[in-house]
Amino acid sequence: MPVLAEVGQHDLERSARILRARAGIVIGTHKHEMVARTLGLRTKGMGLRSVKEYLDHLEQNAHSPEWEAFVNAFTINHTAFFREQHHFDILAKFAQTRKKPFSVWCCAASTGEEPYTIAMTLRESCPQPDVGVSILATDIDTRAIERAREGVYSLERAQPVPEDYLKKYFQRGTGRHAGMVRAKPSIRDMIEFDTFNLLSANWPTDRKFDAIFCRNTMIYFDKPTQTRILERFAPVLKPGGLLFAGHSENFTYLTQAFRLQGQTVYELAER
């Protein structure tokens, strides 16, 4: 087993530059201990002797499978069902005012709690939700999207789901699956899951959305990157479309493309 060299300051700074260039994620200096531990584990996992060798491999191999593991290691999947309930109340009322097809993009879907909450909300608020109602759920973390696609959660994770929704939209596990629930096809089939990097050059420009959920994601980007992403959201929203942000995010001074409509909810400005 190779003996790992100490992770130096240069390695930390270099890894931060690489991560930022690839995924736009900014790692603060207060997370150096976590970064060093992650780099050590990834280096060891590849059988390399130094973090420098590991970072060399990434920079010299743009299509290496290790890129996926590297980015996944630094993504934070903090999410919950019906998180920030007022957003789903607004979405329900908004959906009732829009013509079909009605489409939502959840661009930081994590392990799926958010897109499934969107799906339940739309099933409850839209007449004939099986026709002309769709959700695109994406995330940069490939592992998180796989979990989201499976739609399996512990009862503890599903606790925020109202009991009547839990009965209507989830199957309870039995036997060795006791204590678990799985999203039923009635909401799973509404959602298209995929991996996507918000810094990618290839955006889903072939479709338009009525609403975009990008919550608690922009805080990991610097201001110029936030502005660039916001400007790219605008063309893929239908006129009057809504952008839902996280509770600690404020886009008011970053772009003229959106105007604040309510608490962390933005409306596409007229062009």
List pLDDT tens digits, range 226-265: 899 999 999 999 999 999 998 878 888 888 889 998 889 9
Instruction: Please report, to the nearest 10 degrees, the dihedral formed by the alpha carbons of residues 43, 47, 50, 51 taken in order.
Output: -20
Identify whether residues 166 and 247 lie together within a single domain: yes
Query: Whole-number mean pLDDT of the chain?
Result: 88
Identify whether residues 35 and 112 lie together within a single domain: no
Identify whether residues 144 and 192 lie together within a single domain: yes
- The residue ranges of DSSP E strands in the chain, in sequence order, are 102-106, 133-139, 152-154, 170-172, 180-183, 191-195, 209-214, 237-245, 258-262, 265-268
Identify whether residues 138 and 58 lie together within a single domain: no
Predicted local distance difference test score (pLDDT) of residue 77: 64
Per residue in 18-42, pLDDT tens?
888 877 777 766 677 878 888 888 8
Identify whether residues 95 and 221 lie together within a single domain: yes
Name the DSSP letter for residue 110. Answer: T
The reply to whether 72 sits in an annotated binding site is no
Identify whether residues 68 and 195 lie together within a single domain: no
Q: Is residue 194 part of a domain?
A: yes
Predicted local distance difference test score (pLDDT) of residue 54: 86
* Model confidence band, residue 74 (pLDDT cutoffs 50, 70, 90): confident
Domain that holds residue 60: 9-72
Identify whether residues 128 and 257 lie together within a single domain: yes
Identify whether residues 251 and 198 lie together within a single domain: yes
266 pLDDT higher than 70: yes
- The more confidently predicted of residues 191 and 27 is 191
The reply to whether 198 sits in an annotated binding site is yes
**What pTM was computed for the model?**
0.80
Identify whether residues 43 and 100 lie together within a single domain: no
The reply to whether 130 sits in an annotated binding site is no
Instruction: Please report, to the nearest 10 degrees, the dihedral formed by the alpha carbons of residues 248, 254, 259, 263 taken in order.
Output: 10
The reply to whether 255 sits in an annotated binding site is no
Q: Is residue 4 part of a domain?
A: no
φ and ψ at residue 237, rounded to 5 degrees: -100, 140
Q: Is residue 3 part of a domain?
A: no
The reply to whether 215 sits in an annotated binding site is yes
CATH code, domain with 239 = 3.40.50.150
Identify whether residues 52 and 93 lie together within a single domain: no
Q: Is residue 58 part of a domain?
A: yes
Report the SS3 class of residue 206: coil
Q: How many domains does the chain fold into?
A: 2
